[in-house]
Amino acid sequence: MKMQDDTAKTIIMMIVVMAFVLPGFEHSIANMGSFTLTIGVLGSGANFGLIAIHMIVVTFGNMIGGGVLLGL
């Protein structure tokens, strides 16, 4: 947060997101970083209701998918 340049902040956030995406961790964790970028860009224009619904759907999908894959 001490960085003044918006480009540097965006690059750092992308690195944080990619740290979870590349190894194949849960999409719900990676989406938290993506939503942080979105809120930073759109500010008050972000739809927080849709973000919450998306997080719920993604989390349940990961639980079901993980259960099926581990079961197989």
Per-residue pLDDT of the chain (72 residues), as tens digits, is 577 778 888 888 888 777 766 665 666 677 777 777 777 777 777 777 887 888 788 778 777 777 777 677
Closest CA to 29 of 42, 20, 38: 20
For the entire predicted model, the pTM comes to 0.48
Q: Phi, psi (5° rounding) for residue 68?
A: -70, -45
The pLDDT assigned to 12 comes to: 82
Condensed to tens digits (0 to 9), the pLDDT of residues 29-44 reads 777 777 777 777 777 7
The pLDDT assigned to 25 comes to: 60
Query: Which pair of structure tokens corresponds to residue 60?
Result: 């349940």
Tell the burial category of 48 from Cβ atoms under 10 Å away from its Cβ (0-12, 13-18, 19+).
exposed
Query: Which pair of structure tokens corresponds to residue 13?
Result: 């956030």
Helix axes 48-71, 27-42, angle to 10 degrees: 160
